[in-house]
Amino acid sequence: MDVSVTMWATTIGVLIALVVADFFIGGRKPHEVSIKEAGIWTAVWVVLALIFGGFLWWHSGAQPAGEFFAGYITEKSLSVDNLFVFILIMGKFAVPRIYQQRVLMFGVIIALVLRAAFIAGGAALVSEFSWVFFVFGAFLIWTAWKLIKEARADEEDEEFEENRLLKSITRRFPATEDYRGTKLLVREHGRRLITPMLIVMLAIGTTDVLFALDSIPAIFGLTQDPYIVFTANAFALMGLRQLYFLIGGLLKKLVHLSYGLSVILGFIGVKLVLHAAHEAGANVPEIGIPLSLAFIVVVLAVTTFTSLRASKKAAEAEREPQKLDA
């Protein structure tokens, strides 16, 4: 896809404008986000993504639009898995509910900026070295196997452990013991102090970058166009704050999500390996975008259905002994 500097600048400008509008309309005043508000904003971001995909179809044809939708759905589904960790972070730092949306907003912005750097580096590697697809593919297949292994072992992280960056910041910079509204820095007794608000924002942003180690190779398995990779990531991330409040209580019911994501990552890993072999001159089939998009949608639909069904059966099994006792 041929993207001019003007189109890049316009796209980034529009995305920034959307983030600013989101902040001033729904996130400027600290408050507890209701299910209704989260639902409306989630719908808005999904519609905006659909409109953008329609624009790509009109501008460049079905292929780029299909790549965008496949990338967007993949990144969105992987982002849902990230929400489990976000919940742990919020609990670890005891973030008051009225401040959680502010934390998520700026945490996501930090993540988007850092991911842009990842995408630029990945695009440079892909354009110069076709063998990198073998590396990406092998990494995704290994990640898929790891997800299945963890899911079968029923391993869940009960606590969030700070990464090295956060540990370094908390050691070197004095911090207040409690939140000071939405302030990131305060001055007390002649000293400049950071607040837990700044620390938790950095925790959200930097932790998301760790998830990018999976998602960036995954989306490069669907498209090698840096513009589509960036925009798919942007639309998936920018609606993450509202999705957190909308389905936060339902996350525990998605008991088969890890299995679904592992299947998707494994599929994309195989797709990358086949593409790399084809680029190297081997006579192997390649998996097209229509098949990839259909496969991802079907896997997510089946995973959601089986998860909700299993959760319902588990809830009924828990209620049965209570009825017998009564």
3-state secondary structure of 115: helix
By the 8 A CB rule, do 95 and 318 touch? no
Beta partners for residue 168, in sequence order: none
By the 8 A CB rule, do 78 and 211 touch? yes
Average pLDDT of the chain is: 80
Prediction pTM value: 0.76
Quote the DSSP letter at residue 282. Answer: -
Query: According to the per-residue pLDDT averaged within each range, which of 48-52, 176-180, 246-250 is highest?
Result: 48-52
- pLDDT for position 322: 58
CB neighbours of residue 123 within 10 Å: 18
- pLDDT for position 164: 64
Q: pLDDT exceeding 90 applies to what percent of the chain?
A: 13
Domain edges within the chain: 5-311
User: For the segment 127-143, what is each residue's pLDDT rounded down to a tens digit?
Assistant: 777 777 788 788 888 88
By the 8 A CB rule, do 259 and 124 touch? no
Across 81-98, average pLDDT: 78
- pLDDT higher than threshold 60 for residue 42: yes
- pLDDT higher than threshold 60 for residue 307: yes
